[in-house]
């Protein structure tokens, strides 16, 4: 008498499971669904009830989410596209500490890249506002006092040594000159390499989890 309700429960579970797999390609959905059905029937043939088997799987939506997550992580990692990897990590950040930490680190490197490129653009337009300024000697008599607070993260250092964008520029000499372009290019490149490495390692860590 319990067979019909059990089969109905199985049908409902499989239908919900299939629906939750909709983000996957149709071929992958069919293969996963077929494997799950074979597994269920094998367990039933071994003497377990359908209720017991479905109880071991848990909620159909949660179980399907694992396949969807694996597909998203593998797709982003294999694509090797920075933007796709970044958005995928960002999508996992709310429900994974690994993704959250990875997103924070990736955002820092992205900020480094952006700041370097913005400084380079400013250097081209107004070269006197971007550089490396060193106060020599580093004494209290030569201390530079900022005339206004900077609101954008384009400058590192304070008073005796400043690097990046400064408006107005310090009163002491700028020491890099044209080498500033190479320095900014190097920072942007290192930031890009670090960004991609961070994203790839984060995706790999999420996949193992």
Distance CA 164, CA 179 (A): 12
The structural domain count of the chain equals: 2
The boundaries of the domain holding residue 47 are 3-79
Q: Is residue 155 part of a domain?
A: yes
- Phi-psi domain of 162 (left: phi exceeds 0; alpha: psi -120 through 50; beta: other): beta
Q: Is residue 89 part of a domain?
A: no
Is residue 200 pLDDT above 90, yes or no? yes
Question: Which one of 31, 62, 79 terminates a domain?
Answer: 79
- How far is C-alpha 98 from the chain's CA centre? 10
Mark whether 29 and 115 lie in a shared domain: no
Query: 118 and 154 in contact (C-beta within 8 Å)?
Result: yes
Task: Taking residues 35-59, report their average pLDDT.
Answer: 87
Higher pLDDT, 166 or 145: 166
How confident is residue 202, by pLDDT bands cut at 50, 70 and 90? very high
| Total-model pTM | 0.76
Q: Is residue 17 part of a domain?
A: yes
Q: Is residue 86 part of a domain?
A: no
Of 69, 105, 112, residue with least CA distance to 199:
105
Q: Is residue 84 part of a domain?
A: no
Query: 44 and 50 in contact (C-beta within 8 Å)?
Result: yes
Task: Taking residues 200-207, report their average pLDDT.
Answer: 92
Q: Any idea which residue has 């597994």 for tokens?
A: 39
Higher pLDDT, 29 or 140: 29
**Cα torsion 21, 22, 25, 31: sign:** positive
Is residue 138 pLDDT above 90, yes or no? no
Is residue 115 pLDDT above 70, yes or no? yes
Mark whether 158 and 200 lie in a shared domain: yes
Mark whether 196 and 152 lie in a shared domain: yes
Higher pLDDT, 49 or 139: 49
Q: Is residue 156 part of a domain?
A: yes
């Amino acid at each position: 008498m319990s067979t019909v309700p059990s089969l109905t429960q199985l049908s409902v579970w499989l239908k919900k499971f299939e629906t939750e797999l909709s983000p996957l390609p149709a071929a992958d959905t069919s293969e996963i669904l077929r494997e799950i059905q074979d597994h269920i029937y094998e367990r039933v043939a071994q003497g377990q009830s359908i209720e017991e088997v479905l109880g071991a799987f848990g909620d159909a939506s949660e179980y399907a989410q694992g396949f969807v997550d694996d597909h998203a992580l593998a797709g982003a990692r294999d694509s090797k596209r920075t933007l796709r990897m970044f958005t995928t990590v960002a999508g996992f950040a709310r429900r994974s500490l690994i993704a959250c930490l990875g997103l924070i680190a990736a955002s820092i490197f992205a900020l480094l890249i952006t700041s370097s490129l913005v400084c380079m653009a400013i250097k081209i337009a107004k070269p006197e506002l971007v550089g490396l300024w060193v106060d020599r000697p580093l004494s209290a008599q030569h201390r530079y006092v900022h005339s206004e607070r900077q609101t954008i993260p384009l400058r590192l250092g304070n008073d005796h040594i400043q690097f990046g964008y400064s408006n107005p520029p310090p009163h002491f000499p700028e020491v890099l000159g044209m080498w500033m372009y190479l320095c900014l290019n190097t920072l942007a490149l290192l930031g890009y390499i670090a960004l991609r490495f961070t994203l790839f390692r984060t995706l790999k860590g999420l996949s193992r989890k």
